[in-house]
Amino acid sequence: MNTVNRARQALLALSAAGVIAIGSLGAATQLPLPSASAAQAPTASYSAMALKQLNTFYKPALKGEFPGNAAGFVVGETKRSEVIEKFGSPDVSRTSASGFDSYSANMGNPGYAMSYNAAGVLKEIRYFGTNVERQTNIGGMTVAMVKKAWYTPASTTTIKTGNSIQTKLTYKRGAYHVEFIFNNSLDLSHINLVKS
């Protein structure tokens, strides 16, 4: 029994020595760790990708469409049943006739919210972008970028909801409006497409 206890004590001592040695090695070796701000800082390539994504909205808006997964859905023409046929049942269904069906962003696909008129025809599409690498998408779009790429908006409005204040930049695209809803000049909440 004494031999077993001595063996346990020897193993414990070796284990403690190993932890101390590894801890000393870690303290002696300065490993550079990325800072949180460096990991999220926008780069020129992220900005270029966000600008490219921004410009994909320009031409489809003339036909009442958004690019990507929502291509083919036309504001003022597409029925709710057609959206559900393509996207499936919404993740969150509207709770009133004027409410929104919401589709969450997942697996690199952007999030959307769709609103319909009393006849069940698409009246508004909201684009929320992707969650993964958001800075290369809607998260990288700024007020300055939108104004530089799309020039002066037709109107700029302030939206107040409770304590929240947002800025809406509205651009006319034929018979439609594209609305950029910003939480601040660097934080784009979502993009709306509505009929004029």
| Separation of alpha carbons 196 and 177, rounded Å | 6
Instruction: Give per-residue pLDDT as tens, 49-67.
Output: 999 999 999 999 999 999 9
pLDDT digits (tens, 9 = 90+) for 24-42: 434 343 434 333 333 445 5
Report the predicted TM-score, pTM, of the whole model to 2 decimal places.
0.77
Strand intervals (E) in the chain: 100-103, 111-116, 122-129, 155-161, 164-173, 176-184, 187-195
Residue 1's CB is within 10 A of a number of other CB atoms, namely 5
What number is the average pLDDT over the span 160-174?
Answer: 96
Each residue's pLDDT tens digit, 77-117: 999 999 999 999 999 999 998 899 999 998 888 999 999 99
d(CA 115, CA 100): 5
Rounded to whole angstroms, the Cα distance separating 102 from 113 reads: 4
